[in-house]
Amino acid sequence: MVGIYGKPEAMTEGSAVTVDDAYITESIKVPTAKVVKGFNPIMPVIALTDAEIKDLVAFVASLK
């Protein structure tokens, strides 16, 4: 996930999504909502608090 923040990414269903906090949050909460093109929808839903998700979003965004 290094370098994805702020960049557009192609999704399986043909749309493009700009990676921002809302997209990362959705990808963690509902992993099958938008699946990156070329990947299978195998990411599990992980039991996390909103605070933990917020920290993970900040971490992913920090991966330059």
Please pick, from the candidates 2, 5, 8, 9, the single residue that binds ligand HEM as defined by CB under 6 A.
9
Total interface residues for ligand HEM by CB under 6 A: 18
Which tokens sit at 18? 């700009």
At its nearest, how many Å lie between ligand HEM and the CB of residue 44? 6
At its nearest, how many Å lie between ligand HEM and the CB of residue 64? 14
At its nearest, how many Å lie between ligand HEM and the CB of residue 16? 11
